[in-house]
Structure 1
Amino acid sequence: MPLHMLFGPEDLLRCRFAISPLGQTHEAVRTLRRRERHGYHLPWLRRIGRAAEGLDLTELLLLMPRHGGYTPDFLGPPPAVPDASFEDELARLRATDPALARHELTLSLACTPGAADSPLGRAMLHDPAATVRRLADITERAWRALIKEDWPRLRTLLEADIAYRARQLAEGGLERLFEDLRPRMSWADRTLTVHALHVSARTRTQTLDGRGVLLMPSVFVWPDVVSGFIPPWQPAVIYPARGVGGLWREPDAAAPDALVRLLGANRAAILADLEEPASTSVLARRHRLAPSTVSAHLAVLRAAGLLVSRRRGHEVRYERTPLALALLAGG
């Protein structure tokens, strides 16, 4: 169903990006159920298979209709800050007003025939405060089993997408921002049009009224673009992050021979792997090396003028210099 978001002057000033580990956790749960559509994530699905089998996701999945229905917004409210921690977002979920929870639970259960009248649906609506607590507990277990170990890798990809789109915005405005997501999204005449996967003859129009739009890249939402939220939440667009196709790939078995002879096998592999900026911990996991070993290699590469480092929050990210790109091209 296409959604037309109408921007006023104030909305143009209130567009922002954010990353949601809580939202990514729920998208990961959906991916477990729709694995046939997510070939990109097969390595991850195989690796977490046993941990996923130990999760009871029944209540959570009841609120995730299969065919484009409504999932309660309180389960993954719009992040209050650009890079919220999972713990902070989970605390917001646990603090949900029971009256709001009941309202959104009712809307969600109505999307699945018979769900509201089922024993589980009735129990959820009878005591929404207890339901919120159970859903928060389930979400926390899902985070630990499905996402926590890989979160540095996922966060790196999501932050790289935001950095790219910030450059697109600076160079060409909102029209350029989502140019590579056509035809799912388009911008014209101060209107952002979002085409959901399940298209209906009906067209919705939403006037933003100065609230702006929250833009959230997602690892698991591909190939869809998702629009949300309903009031009182800020409107949002959740879109597939760039680079998902290579998210779970292992580093190439061998860097170019000439580069290996020059730098050594591990340093050459690390340099070849840095297609996007990455931290020491992410590189250590990818290359199955101790963080201290990777740190030492990065220090040598940086001293040689092949890498630069930039601090992002509590992490330091490394990226290749033009000299490194020339060496790789020559190899």
Structure 2
Amino acid sequence: MIALTVDATGLARSRFAVSPLAEVTATLLPWALHSSPQAAPWVTRARRVLRRARLPLLSALALEGPGYVPDFLSPLPSEPSPAIEGELERVRRTPPGRVLAELEALRAGRPRNGLAGSALPEAVRRAMARGGAHVARQAADELRRYWELAFAPHWEAAEAVLEAEVDRCAGVLARQGAATLFNSLHAGVRWTNGTLHVESGLQIMLPAAPLVVVMPSLVAPRAAAHVDPTHEEDRPPTLVYPVPHFSLARTFGTTAPSAALAQLLGPTRAGLLAALSQPASTGDLAARHFLSPATVSYHLGVLRRAGLVTRSRSGRSVLYRRTSARTQSLPDGPG
């Protein structure tokens, strides 16, 4: 359990942020593979890009390392909704000394974060040999390429979900106060007597924080507190938590598929089937689920041949809808 004390001043300064780069770097971590069914197609596609594209530094950290992503790859958002270009420029301008220190932490291990030491992947060692400034530039270039290949076409829909969650939280804060707000974020987050408790395998009691930056995420499978052990003022604690299913449903007008249904059909088809309580077109579903129209069309074809969805024409659009008689017989199925 991580316990973080937040006094009245810190609570007043705390804020929410939506960061595109934070969502990108989250997919580099192994626990991203356990994201919600709604985000699973996005994560799967991103990891495929890591394996196929020429991204040696990111691929080494994500696929060969022990699961630690250096903090400089995801700078703390300086505004509520930063643009990706601004965030990438901050990565590029990271002080060289900090870059090398964080990568050396990968070699030495970070007991505070429960990480054992590990040999640095070859691609990381080669980049470090050219200096911290070179690593920062290479990381920014690779992150931009990763963003363009795996995230940019789908960010508008993803951002809408995250911004809707921030709006929900603003309403809870205004009507019910900060304690209720923090206790509504996730089962792994609890606020009691001025202390924020976040479930963790570590036992850490932290001193009073100047503020906490709260970031909803589509990729994170669980709540987590990210704390800089140097306690630098420009790197306050960050609380990341997964967007609740009911928030996704409110934004997209869908219900989340059950684990049993996702196991039976696969997360992509289960998510599409759950979304079809109301008629929707291929384009609508593609935007909601961060998929290409061709991918959605393929999965809808499979579901239709199985008798789980029907289609009908409405003007120029073809609308799909799940068939209640067949889906009611599925394990914990929607409808």
Q: TM-score range by the shorter chain?
A: 0.5 to 0.7
- The CA distance in 2 between the partners of 1:163 and 1:129, in whole Å, is 38
- The CA distance in 1 between the partners of 2:292 and 2:32, in whole Å, is 30
- Does 2:131 correspond to 1:107? no
- The CA distance in 1 between the partners of 2:189 and 2:62, in whole Å, is 23
Could you tell me which amino acid in structure 2 is paired with residue 92 of structure 1?
Answer: R
Cα contact 2:43–2:219 (8 A) shared by 1: no
Aligned twin of 1:27: 26
- Does 2:126 correspond to 1:123? yes
Q: 2:155 aligns with which of 151, 154, 159?
A: 151
What pairs up with 1:284-295 in 2 under 5 angstroms?
A: none
Tell me which moved more, 148-157 or 221-230: 221-230
**How far off its partner does 1:183 sit?**
3.9
Percent identity between the two aligned chains: 25
- The CA distance in 1 between the partners of 2:173 and 2:227, in whole Å, is 22
- The CA distance in 1 between the partners of 2:187 and 2:148, in whole Å, is 35
Tell me which moved more, 127-136 or 169-178: 169-178
Could you tell me which amino acid in structure 2 is paired with residue 104 of structure 1?
Answer: E
- The CA distance in 2 between the partners of 1:96 and 1:131, in whole Å, is 10
Could you tell me which amino acid in structure 1 is paired with residue 3 of structure 2?
Answer: H
- Does 2:206 correspond to 1:205? yes
Cα contact 2:27–2:43 (8 A) shared by 1: no
**How far off its partner does 1:225 sit?**
2.4
Could you tell me which amino acid in structure 2 is paired with residue 150 of structure 1?
Answer: H
Cα contact 2:186–2:241 (8 A) shared by 1: no
Cα contact 1:63–1:109 (8 A) shared by 2: no
Cα contact 2:26–2:32 (8 A) shared by 1: no
What pairs up with 1:119-268 in 2 under 5 angstroms?
A: 119-126=122-129, 127-196=131-200, 199-200=201-202, 202-208=203-209, 211-230=210-229, 231-232=231-232, 233-243=235-245, 245=256, 249-250=271-272, 251-252=275-276, 255=279
TM-score (norm 1): 0.67
Cα contact 2:186–2:242 (8 A) shared by 1: no
Cα contact 1:7–1:190 (8 A) shared by 2: yes
Could you tell me which amino acid in structure 2 is paired with residue 242 of structure 1?
Answer: P
- The CA distance in 1 between the partners of 2:62 and 2:17, in whole Å, is 22
- The CA distance in 2 between the partners of 1:9 and 1:253, in whole Å, is 44
Gaps of 5+ in 2: 110-115, 249-255, 258-266, 294-314, 316-335
- The CA distance in 2 between the partners of 1:207 and 1:61, in whole Å, is 37
- The CA distance in 2 between the partners of 1:129 and 1:287, in whole Å, is 36
- The CA distance in 2 between the partners of 1:29 and 1:6, in whole Å, is 30
Could you tell me which amino acid in structure 1 is paired with residue 99 of structure 2?
Answer: A
- The CA distance in 2 between the partners of 1:236 and 1:54, in whole Å, is 32
**How far off its partner does 1:73 sit?**
1.7
Cα contact 1:28–1:146 (8 A) shared by 2: no
Q: Rate the CA distance shift 1:48–1:184 in 2: closer, same or farther, 3 A.
A: closer
Aligned twin of 2:89: 91
- The CA distance in 2 between the partners of 1:222 and 1:151, in whole Å, is 19
SS of the residue corresponding to residue 178 of structure 1 reads helix
Please list the CA deviations of residues 203-262 of structure 1 after superposition, one character each: whole Å capped at 9, or x if unmatched: 332321xx211001111011342423443212211111123547974452754xxxxxxx
Gaps of 5+ in 1: 256-264, 274-280, 289-296, 298-331
SS of the residue corresponding to residue 169 of structure 2 reads helix
TM-score (norm 2): 0.66
- The CA distance in 2 between the partners of 1:58 and 1:137, in whole Å, is 11
Q: Rate the CA distance shift 1:167–1:36 in 2: closer, same or farther, 3 A.
A: closer
SS of the residue corresponding to residue 59 of structure 1 reads helix
Q: Rate the CA distance shift 1:136–1:16 in 2: closer, same or farther, 3 A.
A: same
Tell me which moved more, 58-67 or 131-140: 58-67
**How far off its partner does 1:48 sit?**
5.8
Cα contact 1:69–1:108 (8 A) shared by 2: no
SS of the residue corresponding to residue 24 of structure 1 reads helix
